[in-house]
């Protein structure tokens, strides 16, 4: 098209835009302001769909903003320039533009613009792995949004401040997720979701669902992760947000521990990869290529793996994405090992280990940051966490109410229709036709009766099989009397979700030593019970056959036996268990604890002179304190970064009380707003009962659980063991 025609169309488009947006006569704009607003709007329309045109609009936006001589417009234009650099994964230039935006917004005394600038700076620092600066900027962003809201604004000012605060909460939750503070991330992300459910668009809700799903995936809670990934993907408007939609697809496609058809996983992975290439987001494309190569490693051909890894390496070098090198070299080493080129495999592995040392140092820095944040904010989180939990059931409740209303209309319509047909038949049909219909009805009733008998027979067969499985599982579990014989002051609160359970408890005695554990296997019901049999047998062999007595040795051997059992399958099996294991020396009143994901709680009488180890979390009650030892951050089962398990010795004091549990009690939804019970509430409940006997504590747990769940559905198996030596 000739240039002069393009200019004519651009002018016509500009005139149409200004007439539609500013033709109401309420405010007059200068020519420069019109052009700034036009290009700002056009940039947002093509930000991801046409990057070259987006750059033209971003540059034009800055040009006309400077012409307008309005400091807030210039600040917004620099923000647009930063956005564009971020879409190209150029985070350092983006950082420079955001600082310029902040400077101009401060000159304009625009609190909303200042809050936005701090939030953008936090995002850029996050991408550059400077988590300390990221946290500083995000908290400043939230401070400015709250400053606006404290003035009780109305209209657009209120909406923008609320939306900015929601984004700030979401980004802060992302940060806590990155440094492994899952409970804090949970609070921030659910509070952000609460805003999205009330004020946000479907796209906003889907982005929150995706981040929460990713959090649960990293937290090793696959059932919850799948629930939120599906909620995000099923929102059609979300599909237009290509970057976030692709993230949801790739995370869900590579989610282990849930049953997703392999062809469905492949479709989602392919769609996500295609989207990242369309957006020209090199870092997202490399991450997608590596995740796909890793998860589908055994299914992909060598040619496909070679092509994907070669393209990933090209993007890393071309776009200077050095942070992605460790994962690339890890996959490249696996590829060459499968190919039989062990020299190249060793070269890649050597590079991976060298880069991993740098990554481990960075992770250590993140752990230091996390420790500092825990120290500063622990009291605040413990007091406010129950109030900060999002009322995530609001949407579901409204949906169920709508469905109930529709069902009532349908039922009434069906009843009315049936009454009408019956009346017509009554007045029109002859006796002969009635007799014929009666004969047909008799025949159908006989058929229905036969089918009913077949279904009942099948149901009885299935019920008999499941009940037999329950008896088999019960035979494997120790009885409370067996535990009470050696630990008389104890209780067991065991509540399977189904007839059989994926949770199980385990006990063994060897002289003065007792072995006690609570385990949570992948899934629940029959699948979970089958995994529990494998894991329980592995524990028994570790102690009886291999004569191991240290928790870390028992856990290492149990993992080896479980992996060996599942390795016989022709399909990939990612099942396993989380476990808390204590070895108790009855004579010395000493225990040794080791865990996989799950921890140990100890409640003892308050004593200011007690020295508490640095890695032990403390929650204070009126007369008692609760100490928490964390388990290792890896399961008993297949895991990408397996390490030897650790354990620790704990010398008990008089009246010390210890608790082992699965996550079923804390994760149960209920209460007036359909929230999770959560670990903080469970800790408070145990602290309040610390003066009571173990039997009374069990009764207290049972009553609280029943009141919390009400008429709702139990979502997981529950197992809690408490004892006092």
Burial environment of residue 289 by CB neighbours within 10 A (0 to 12, 13 to 18, 19 or more): buried
pLDDT tens, 182-212?
888 888 888 888 878 887 788 888 888 998 9
For the chain, the C-alpha Rg in angstroms (whole number) is 31
478-724: CATH topology is Phosphatase 2c; domain 1 (3.60.40)
Q: What confidence tier does 448 reach under pLDDT thresholds 50, 70, 90?
A: low
Q: What angle do CA 86, 87, 92 make, to 5 degrees?
A: 25
Beta carbons of 564 and 628 less than 8 angstroms apart: no
Q: Which residues contact 472 (CB under 8 A, 6 or more apart)?
A: 533
Residues 93, 82: Cα–Cα separation, whole Å: 7
Q: What's the CA dihedral at 414, 420, 421, 426 to 10 degrees?
A: 140
pLDDT over threshold 90, residue 598: yes
Sign for the CA dihedral angle at 533, 534, 539, 544 comes to positive
pLDDT tens, 51-66?
888 888 889 999 999 9
Sign for the CA dihedral angle at 367, 373, 376, 381 comes to negative
Query: What pLDDT is attached to residue 599?
Result: 94
Task: Mark 324-360 as b/e (b = at least 16 C-beta within 10 Å).
Answer: bbbbbbbbbbbbbeeeeeeeebeebbebbeebbeeee
Q: Quick one: the chain helix, strand, coil %, rounded to 5? A: 65, 10, 25
Q: How far apart are the first and last CA of the chain?
A: 87
Percentage of residues in the chain having pLDDT higher than 90: 24
In this prediction, residues 421-432 reach a mean pLDDT of: 60
For 606, the enclosing helix (H) or strand (E) is: none
Residues 465, 525: Cα–Cα separation, whole Å: 13
Query: What pLDDT is attached to residue 505?
Result: 92
Token representation of residue 277: 């290439």
Q: Which residues contact 589 (CB under 8 A, 6 or more apart)?
A: 651, 652, 725
Beta carbons of 708 and 495 less than 8 angstroms apart: no
Strands 513-521 and 617-620, how do they pair? unpaired
**In terms of DSSP H, where are the helices of 389-430?**
393-428
Token representation of residue 697: 């504590």
Question: 220: left (phi > 0), else alpha (psi -120 to 50), else beta?
Answer: left
DSSP string, 331-376: HHHHHHHHHT-HHHHHHHHHHHHHHHHHHHHHHHHHHHHHHHHHHH
Beta carbons of 516 and 492 less than 8 angstroms apart: no
Q: What confidence tier does 376 reach under pLDDT thresholds 50, 70, 90?
A: very low
pLDDT tens, 693-711?
999 999 999 999 999 998 8
pLDDT over threshold 80, residue 445: no
Query: What pLDDT is attached to residue 354?
Result: 64
Token representation of residue 423: 């009346």
Beta carbons of 244 and 210 less than 8 angstroms apart: yes
Percentage of residues in the chain having pLDDT higher than 70: 76
For 515, the enclosing helix (H) or strand (E) is: strand 513-521
From 558, 562, 497, select the one nearest 523 (Cα to Cα): 497
pLDDT over threshold 50, residue 19: no
Q: What is each CA distance from 195 to 62, 487, 499, 687, in whole angstroms?
A: 32, 49, 39, 33
Query: What pLDDT is attached to residue 475?
Result: 63
- Tell me phi and psi for residue 599, to 5 degrees: -115, -170
Taking the CA of residue 294 as centre, how many other CA atoms within 13 Å lie in the half-sphere pointing to its CB?
Answer: 21
pLDDT over threshold 90, residue 625: yes
Maximum mean pLDDT: which of 13-27, 167-181, 253-267, 313-327: 253-267
Q: Which residues contact 307 (CB under 8 A, 6 or more apart)?
A: none
Q: What is each CA distance from 194 to 205, 521, 680, in whole angstroms?
A: 9, 32, 20
For 300, the enclosing helix (H) or strand (E) is: none
Specify the 3-state DSSP secondary structure of 601.
Answer: strand
- Strands, sheet with 657-661, edge to edge from the N-terminal-most edge strand: 490-495, 718-724, 657-661, 600-605, 624-629, 617-620
Taking the CA of residue 296 as centre, how many other CA atoms within 13 Å lie in the half-sphere pointing to its CB?
Answer: 27
Identify the DSSP state of 632. Answer: B
User: Which long-range CB contacts under 8 A does 315-318 form with residues at least 24 apart?
Assistant: 315/282, 315/285, 315/286, 316/286, 318/282
Token representation of residue 180: 């492994």
Least confident of 269-283, 428-442, 613-627, 667-681: 428-442
Q: In terms of residues, how long is the chain? A: 725
Query: What pLDDT is attached to residue 393?
Result: 45
pLDDT tens, 214-258?
889 888 888 888 999 999 999 988 888 888 888 889 899 889 888
Least confident of 67-81, 104-118, 227-241, 606-620: 606-620
User: Which long-range CB contacts under 8 A does 336-342 form with residues at least 24 apart?
Assistant: 338/297, 338/302, 338/305, 339/302
Q: What angle do CA 320, 323, 327 make, to 5 degrees?
A: 115
pLDDT over threshold 80, residue 371: no
Residues 638, 569: Cα–Cα separation, whole Å: 13
């Amino acid at each position: 098209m000739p240039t002069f025609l393009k200019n004519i169309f651009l002018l016509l488009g500009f005139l149409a835009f200004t007439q539609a947006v500013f033709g109401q006569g309420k405010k007059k704009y200068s020519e420069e302001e019109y052009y700034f607003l036009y290009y700002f709007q056009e940039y947002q329309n093509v930000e991801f769909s046409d990057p070259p045109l987006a750059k033209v609009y971003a540059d034009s936006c800055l040009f006309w903003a400077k012409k307008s001589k309005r400091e807030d417009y210039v600040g917004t234009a620099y923000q647009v320039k930063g956005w564009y650099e971020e879409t190209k994964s150029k985070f350092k230039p983006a950082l420079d533009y955001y600082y310029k935006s902040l400077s101009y917004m401060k000159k304009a005394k625009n609190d909303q613009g200042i809050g936005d600038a701090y939030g953008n700076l936090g995002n850029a620092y996050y991408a550059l792995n400077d988590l300390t600066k990221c946290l500083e900027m995000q908290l400043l962003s939230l401070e400015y949004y709250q400053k606006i809201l404290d003035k009780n604004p109305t209209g657009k000012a209120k909406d923008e401040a609320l939306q900015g605060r929601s984004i700030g909460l979401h980004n802060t939750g992302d940060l806590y997720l990155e440094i492994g503070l899952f409970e804090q991330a949970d609070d921030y992300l659910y509070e952000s979701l609460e805003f999205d459910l009330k004020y946000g668009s479907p796209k906003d809700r889907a982005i929150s669902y995706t981040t929460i799903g990713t959090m649960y995936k990293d937290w090793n809670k696959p059932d919850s992760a799948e629930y939120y990934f599906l909620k995000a993907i099923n929102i059609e408007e979300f599909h237009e947000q290509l970057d976030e939609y692709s993230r949801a697809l790739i995370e869900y496609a590579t989610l282990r521990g849930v049953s997703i058809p392999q062809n469905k996983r492949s479709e989602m992975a392919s769609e996500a990869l295609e989207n990242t290439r369309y957006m020209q987001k090199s870092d997202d494309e490399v991450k997608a290529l590596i995740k796909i190569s890793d998860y589908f490693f055994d299914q992909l051909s060598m040619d496909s793996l070679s092509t994907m890894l070669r393209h990933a390496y090209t993007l890393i070098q071309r776009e200077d994405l050095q942070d992605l090198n460790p994962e690339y070299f890890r996959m490249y080493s696996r590829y060459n090992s499968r190919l039989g080129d062990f020299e190249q495999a060793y070269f890649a592995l050597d590079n991976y280990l060298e880069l991993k040392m740098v990554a481990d140092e960075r992770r250590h820095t993140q752990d230091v940051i996390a420790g500092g944040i825990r120290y500063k904010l622990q009291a605040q989180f413990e007091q406010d966490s129950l109030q900060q939990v999002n009322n995530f059931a609001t949407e579901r409740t409204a949906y169920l109410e709508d469905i109930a209303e529709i069902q009532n209309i349908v039922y009434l319509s069906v009843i009315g229709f049936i009454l009408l047909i019956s009346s017509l038949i009554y007045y029109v049909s002859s006796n002969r036709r009635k007799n014929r219909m009666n004969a047909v009805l008799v025949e159908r009733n006989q058929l229905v009766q036969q089918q009913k008998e077949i279904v009942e027979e099948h149901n009885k067969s299935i019920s008999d099989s499941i009940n037999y499985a329950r008896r088999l599982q019960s035979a494997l579990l120790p009885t409370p009397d067996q535990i009470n014989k050696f630990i008389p002051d104890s209780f067991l609160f065991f509540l399977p979700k189904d007839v059989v359970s994926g949770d199980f408890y385990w006990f063994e005695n060897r002289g003065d030593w007792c072995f006690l554990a609570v385990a949570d296997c992948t899934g629940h019901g029959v699948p979970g019970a089958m995994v529990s049999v494998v894991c329980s047998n592995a524990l028994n062999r570790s102690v009886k056959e291999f004569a191991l007595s240290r928790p870390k040795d028992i856990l290492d051997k149990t993992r080896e036996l479980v992996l060996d059992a599942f390795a016989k399958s022709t399909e990939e099996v990612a099942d396993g268990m989380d476990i808390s294991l204590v070895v108790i020396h009855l004579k010395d009143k000493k225990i040794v604890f080791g865990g996989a994901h799950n921890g140990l709680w100890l409640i003892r009488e308050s004593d200011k002179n007690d020295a508490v180890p640095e890695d032990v979390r403390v929650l204070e009650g009126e007369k008692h304190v609760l100490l928490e030892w964390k388990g290792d951050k890896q399961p008993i089962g297949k895991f990408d970064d397996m390490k030897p398990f650790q354990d620790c010795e704990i010398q008990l004091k008089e009246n010390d009380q210890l608790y082992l549990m699965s996550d079923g009690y804390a994760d149960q939804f209920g209460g007036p707003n359909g929230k999770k019970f959560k670990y903080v509430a469970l800790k408070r409940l145990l602290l309040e009962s610390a003066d009571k006997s173990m039997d009374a504590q069990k009764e207290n747990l049972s009553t609280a659980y029943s009141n919390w769940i009400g008429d709702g559905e139990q979502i997981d198996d529950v197992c809690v063991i408490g004892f006092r030596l």
